[in-house]
Amino acid sequence: MRKVYFAILLSGIFLFKTFNSEAQVNLPYTLNFTSNDPTNWADGIAQDGDGGTSNINGLDLQIYTAGSDHTTLYTFPGSIQSTIEWYDNSYYYSNSSTYTGITSGPSIPATNNGVPAMVIKSANSAQNFSLNSIQLYDWGYTNVITIETYDNGTKKGSVDFTPDPSYNPTTVSQSGLLTPALFNNIDEIRFFPKSASVFNLSFNKIDLASASPLPVTFTSVNATRQNKNINVEWKVANETGIEKYEVERSADGNSFEALGTENATGNSVAGTSYNWIDQNPLPGNNFYRIKSIDLSGREEYSTITKLNFGAGIPSLSVYPNPATGGTVRLQMNQMVSGSYHLKLINSEGKVMIEKDLSLPAGNSNETLNISRFPKGIYQLKITAPDHTTMVKSIVH
């Protein structure tokens, strides 16, 4: 939100009054940039109220290019300050003749506009918003763009967007790619190429809504070791209409998988505690987060907690066990790279599945489909390159 300040001389006293430079609007509102704004954007930051948009009451939104840390305002090699630029389709050459949008600048050969990241952020972390939809066009065509969301510095999650290879601008929304649990009640969105170092992203028609009240407040999330298990405990307050909680785990703090579910006790203003036991923790780091799901299907995430379970020795975990839906996941950790041999054997000693796995060094996973086999107990054997064998029982 841009503001213009005027000094008024009244009876020998200077009074300072603030006048908004553009019309005031409330959320929901779509930021549709329709013109360049070089005076305001020379500092590299575009805001609501710039480029033909209106100021949003109660929200000071900033849009800027960022460096490889995805947070700091970007400076091109040669100490050239990045800017924000608006162009029509005569610049972008998309397949939509009416497309317009904002992108990184300045447009000079020394920069070629390529930047490591672009950010949409509330200048005040206490002023949250929801993103309903946004029109994206990568005029340099990056294979995959990661879109991350944050609330007060805590990552909520991410989705991956694949630009149209035919150079058509694409609108992504909460009815599709933008998972509501990740794009509601946030204060920051980061866009960056998944594998390349820089990209040429433009966007427009940023459809924003108010951050609706949360149906639950996570007050704490902790993970503690209990012998061979990990106890995950979370406390909540202001629990309203929550159906259940899902416990998710990750080996790297980025890619999470659901492991267990706890039903909510119902509506409670006072604090409520829950816990879930992980009976097959990963060697090394275990990252946990909790997802709340209310009766309407709305999802919210807790912060992430981490526990290191010990030395990084090769290990095999199978989950869910008993199998759910005829499939199980094999989590293989601290493996050496090479060829592994897998066998699934029934109770009569018959080999039901036999195949080779080429595993990288470190952690990896594999999905095993056993739905076509009779119910029973199966023995899983995985033989490593050094001929050592790991054995697990699977209940089907």
Each residue of 203-261: pLDDT tens digit? 999 999 987 666 788 888 999 888 888 999 999 988 888 889 999 999 888 888 999 99
Cis peptide before 322 (omega within 30 of 0): yes
Average pLDDT over residues 195-202: 92
Give the span between the Cα atoms of 333 and 312, in whole angstroms.
Answer: 8
pLDDT for res 72: 92
pLDDT for res 183: 92
Q: Is the pLDDT of residue 371 over 80?
A: yes
Q: Is the pLDDT of residue 346 over 60?
A: yes
Q: Is the pLDDT of residue 6 over 50?
A: no
Find where tokens 């594998």 sit: 195
Give the span between the Cα atoms of 101 and 112, in whole angstroms.
Answer: 17
Say which range, 133-147, 176-190, 246-260, 310-324, has the weakest mean pLDDT: 310-324
CB 319 within 8 A of CB 368: no
Average pLDDT over residues 75-87: 88
pLDDT for res 2: 56
pTM: 0.57
Give the span between the Cα atoms of 274 and 215, in whole angstroms.
Answer: 16
pLDDT for res 85: 94
Q: Is the pLDDT of residue 22 over 70?
A: no
Average pLDDT over residues 90-109: 89
How is residue 295 written in tokens? Answer: 């009766």
Q: Is the pLDDT of residue 7 over 50?
A: no
pLDDT for res 143: 81
Cis peptide before 77 (omega within 30 of 0): no
pLDDT for res 295: 82
pLDDT for res 311: 56
pLDDT for res 120: 97
pLDDT for res 271: 81
Average pLDDT over residues 263-283: 85
Average pLDDT over residues 293-320: 81
Domains in the chain and their CATH numbers?
24-210 (2.60.120.260), 217-308 (2.60.40.10), 315-395 (2.60.40.3080)
pLDDT for res 67: 93
Closest residue by Cα to residue 135 from 31, 53, 46, 65: 31
**Of how many residues is the chain composed?**
396
Average pLDDT over residues 329-354: 91
Give the span between the Cα atoms of 249 and 368, in whole angstroms.
Answer: 19
